[in-house]
Amino acid sequence: MSRALNSLILLALSVLVALPLLFILLQAIFPQLGAGSWQGAFSALPRLFADDTLLPMWVGTLKVGVGVALCSLIIGLPLGALRGLFRLPGGALWDLLFLVPFLTPPYIAALNWTLALQRNGYVQQLTGLDLESLLFSASGITLVMTVNIFPVVYFAVSRALMASGQRLALVARVHGASAWRAFWHVTLPLLLPTLAGSALLAFTLAIDEYGVPAALGARAGITLMTVGIEQKLSDWPIDLPGAAMLSLLLSLVALAAWFAQRRLTASQDVATIGGKPATSEAASAGVWTLPMVLLFALTALFAVALPLCSMTLSGLLNTLSGGVSGTNLTLRHFAALFSQQGDALSAFSTSIGLALGAAILTGVLGFLVAWRVAEGKSRALALLDGLALLPAAIPGVVIGVGLILLWNRSFWPVSPYNSLAILLLSYCCLLLPWPVRYVSSALRQLAPTLEPAARVHGASRIQALRLVVFPLVSPSLLAAMMMVFAVASRELVTSLLLAPAGVQTVALFIWRQFEQGSVGQGMAMATLTLFASLALMLSAMALLHRSKKL
Amino acid sequence: MLLTTAAMINNAHALTVYTAGPGSLAKSLATGFEKQTGIKVNIFQATTGKVMARLEAEQASPQADVLISASWDTAEDLQQRGWLLPYQSPNAGKVPDAFKTADYVAQGISALGIVWNIQSGTPEPKNWQDLTGPAFKDKVTTPDPALSGASLDLLIGLQNGEGEKAWSLFQQLKENGMVISGPNAQAVTPVLQGAKAAVFGAVDYVTYNNIAQGEAVKVIFPEGGTVVAPRPMMILKSTQHADDAKKFVDYVLSDAGQQQVANAWLMPARTDIKAQRPLITEIRLLPMQQDGSADRASVLKRFATLFGQ
């Protein structure tokens, strides 16, 4: 049965990931692929290396990727550890706040920061502080990206600690270790796979990110690889093979990082969840509760409130040139959203439906992949793992092109192309790495004896999975599914390329407003959808909470 | 549920139009056409680059019937590849010869100009050269010509009109602190907020739309001349709905269609339709480029080297 399941997973991964990537590879090698010809193989390769902007672009991308991963660890690790170990007042609320960066499309986040920090921006208008030179620099790009990406580390760390409880650290305390020593020598090393996994995810997200470097990089004089790829696709003549080549190079970087992460953590046994009953009650922080809350508040102020205010303000200003003043405030941008023949509303429901579908599909498949990979040691399973991570390393626009090349063929009897299903496929492909990463680091903390113990006591394989393994990893899985939902509900790059004629999603709607010069209306829509999605997630969480209690 | 929606979208009788912005124009043209003929139109709207990338990737099984691009070159190129269905609309009589061929015809025309923030405290620029003065030190942005075909057309037009003098203009702009800021919208936003005072070479219709919304900016067409970007409209040879596609082209060039083009702050392709903005006869033009994409690549490279990108 397990073999049948493995084949089924492999089939799903092939359709979702391997086939589109194969077509990108083919496109890189055979420039005439779109026209159905195999001529001129490898002719794009010498052109790629003849380009003298390649090296600085590559180095710049690496620097930003490493910088974002480090900064995300610096912010995400302490916050995540505090959240996971201690009773934090309003815990779920802080989680929700740190989801806001995910619900904000990166290009809007970059625009929010630009409108806030550039010369004569909101911050200067209100406080006189001019931060333009910081914003438009390599550090500025890294910081803005970190603000959007650090929640990856925060959620991974806090969920891992919540699931594993503090039994081993308590043992250390009982034997005389100080609280700090117990954390440093027990808790932290056990977190290593989680840290490495989430740092890897942060790194790949950063090098794969397009919106922020596109918005800030041009002014900073820095071109990152995603922008380089996009450039090959944005002016006539379109250079598909060149873009595909460059993407392959980018995915090699991510693959190298993945190998490094595997080597780093492969030999360690970090199982913390055995059969012994453990209270997973978080400790009280005592007098440190207030400073802890202040630390969370400070982070939320900078990472969440500032860009959010910038966004809402832009939606409320009658004109940008009018500046921040009481007479320049209006609700007309919000009102206009409801008067456009229901466009905004239908875009919203399309996006929410697709995001929900993507969260469920990637959640199920991601859990299965992680579970199978954690159980076996074979090479074939490592292949599954690698395959499921690969999309994180490929820029969205290239996955979009790969999906067109794959599905827009007359030989398919039925094709998802030109229907909403192609968007669902692309979101699932892009976001599958999230549940896989989160669940597999959670699984590595389960003692390998747990499942056999259940089997010995007469549970069937399915029962052991359902009653033992699944409940223990479900916090991580849910966190990942929330993130998938958040990202899918505002995905722009592949939607722009793949949306069937006549279909709008939220991100497309907003982007089209910007393109027509209606910054106010775009921001109004962004604000409204952000709060609507937050409300949706909040009620989903409340429902889950209630059903647990019953 | 997704599949039934898919089936509905894949309506075999609908006409599929791929178009570069503005989206509101595409939508109103589709609605007007549907009202007149009963033929449903599905719009795919994106940047010229995205539209062309999709067209290129879709070659194995083309989806688009009609294509409206924002760059004349794309039409020339597609025609040379033999992708286009020749069609002369009876409504194209009043379109100037420069803006039509046997295979494609302009839908509307935009021009490039200086976009200037009235409240910026700088003197109103009259010519490109004015942006190199001390009043505009560190206060000018420009769209990236690598991302915007129209922007590149301006560089080429200036080079054709003034030769090496054009390059010393770019040099002076660079020394005066002009920055390159991505596509058109990204160059204009800082000027709206007042971070910068002027855009060198912005697409005009977007800014006219901003002005209509109350923004304190102005579009200035320099005395030295500028370039226009006609937006070619064409029917693809692979279409299964050639008759409907022709009807659509006719509709866009009809009185009603051209009026909608004018309402989107573009210059109508037909000379006999009024617009609420300067028309092509009122703008001084630089000599159009003769030929050659090699020329485009070399101009782009020289500009990129100059600005150290």
Each residue's pLDDT, cut to its tens digit, for chain A (550 residues) gives 577 888 888 889 988 889 998 988 888 888 877 677 777 777 777 777 777 778 888 999 999 999 999 999 999 999 998 998 888 888 888 888 888 888 888 888 998 999 999 888 888 888 888 888 888 888 999 999 999 999 989 988 988 887 776 777 777 888 888 878 888 887 888 888 888 888 988 998 888 888 888 888 878 888 888 888 888 877 667 788 888 888 888 888 888 887 887 777 766 666 666 665 555 567 777 788 889 999 999 999 999 999 999 999 999 998 888 888 888 888 888 888 887 667 888 899 999 999 999 999 999 999 998 888 887 767 777 788 888 878 877 778 778 888 988 888 878 888 888 889 999 999 999 999 889 888 888 887 777 777 788 888 888 878 887 888 888 888 888 888 988 998 899 888 888 888 888 888 998 888 888 877 788 888 999 999 888 888 888 887 777 777 655 4
Partner A contacted by B309 (CB < 8 A): yes
Between strands B198-203 and B217-220, the pairing is unpaired
* Residue B177 identity (one-letter amino acid): G
In a domain, A174, yes or no: yes
Residue ranges of domains in chain B, CATH in brackets? 2-109+229-281 (3.40.190.10), 111-227+284-306 (3.40.190.10)
pTM of the model: 0.84
CB-CB neighbours of B180 under 10 Å: 24
Query: Which three-class secondary structure state does DSSP give residue A187?
Result: helix
pLDDT top residue among B169 and A54: B169
pLDDT bucket at B28, cuts 50 / 70 / 90? very high
Q: How many CA atoms, within 13 angstroms, populate the side-chain half-sphere of residue B301? A: 9
- Residue A3 phi/psi, 5-degree rounding, is -65, -40
Picking from A214, A405, A421, the nearest residue to B6 by CB comes out as A421
The CATH number given to whatever domain includes residue A356 is 1.10.3720.10
- Sign, CA torsion B2/B3/B4/B8: positive
pLDDT at residue B251 tops 90: yes
pLDDT at residue B10 tops 50: no
What does the alpha-carbon distance between residue A437 and residue A443 come to, in Å, rounded to a whole number? 10
pLDDT bucket at B299, cuts 50 / 70 / 90? confident
Q: How far is A231 from chain B (nearest CA, A)?
A: 7
pLDDT top residue among A504 and B1: A504
Exposure string for B86-120, b = 16+ CB within 10 A, e = fewer: ebebebbeebeeebbbebbbbbbbbbbbbbbbeeb
- Under a CB-based contact definition with an 8 Å cutoff, are residues A367 and A435 in contact? yes
pLDDT at B298: 85
- Under a CB-based contact definition with an 8 Å cutoff, are residues A437 and A198 in contact? yes
Query: Which three-class secondary structure state does DSSP give residue B32?
Result: helix
What does the alpha-carbon distance between residue A374 and residue A370 come to, in Å, rounded to a whole number? 6
Written as one string, the DSSP assignment of A382-432 is: HHHHHHHHGGGGS-HHHHHHHHHHHHS-TT-SS--TTSHHHHHHHHHHHHT
Between strands B104-117 and B267-268, the pairing is antiparallel
What does the alpha-carbon distance between residue A389 and residue A214 come to, in Å, rounded to a whole number? 24
Q: What is the DSSP letter of B100?
A: B
Q: How far is A312 from chain B (nearest CA, A)?
A: 16
- Under a CB-based contact definition with an 8 Å cutoff, are residues A502 and A449 in contact? no
pLDDT at A359: 95
Counts for chain A of helices (H) and strands (E), in that order: 30, 0
Q: How far is B264 from chain A (nearest CA, A)?
A: 10
Picking from B57, B63, B206, the nearest residue to A405 by CB comes out as B57
CB-CB neighbours of A114 under 10 Å: 25
* Residue B49 identity (one-letter amino acid): G
* Residue A389 identity (one-letter amino acid): L
The label of the residue with tokens 């780093």 reads: A264
pLDDT top residue among B126 and A210: B126
- Under a CB-based contact definition with an 8 Å cutoff, are residues A257 and A199 in contact? no
- Under a CB-based contact definition with an 8 Å cutoff, are residues A152 and A200 in contact? no
**Structurally, how many domains does chain A consist of?**
1
Give the rounded distance of the alpha carbon of B255 from its chain centre. Answer: 21
Picking from B56, B59, B149, the nearest residue to A235 by CB comes out as B149
What does the alpha-carbon distance between residue A78 and residue B94 come to, in Å, rounded to a whole number? 70
Residues 274-293 of B with CB under 8 A from A: 293
Which residues on adjacent β-strands are paired with residue B230? B109
In a domain, A273, yes or no: no
Partner A contacted by B261 (CB < 8 A): no
* Residue A99 identity (one-letter amino acid): L
- Domain range holding A428? 2-31+47-265+287-549
CB-CB neighbours of A167 under 10 Å: 16
Picking from A214, A221, A418, the nearest residue to B308 by CB comes out as A221
Q: Which of A214, A258, A247, A254 is nearest to A395 (CA)?
A: A247
pLDDT at B240: 93
What does the alpha-carbon distance between residue B305 and residue B298 come to, in Å, rounded to a whole number? 10
- Under a CB-based contact definition with an 8 Å cutoff, are residues A421 and A353 in contact? no
In a domain, A37, yes or no: no
Q: How far is B274 from chain A (nearest CA, A)?
A: 22
Picking from A35, A503, A517, the nearest residue to B9 by CB comes out as A503
Contact B6 A497 (CB under 8 A): no
Partner A contacted by B260 (CB < 8 A): no
Residues 203-242 of B with CB under 8 A from A: 206-207, 209-210, 213-217
The verdict on ipTM greater than 0.85 is no
The label of the residue with tokens 């873009």 reads: A243
Geometric angle at alpha carbon B206, from A345 and A337, rounded to 5°:
15
- Under a CB-based contact definition with an 8 Å cutoff, are residues B130 and B136 in contact? yes
What does the alpha-carbon distance between residue A389 and residue A256 come to, in Å, rounded to a whole number? 12
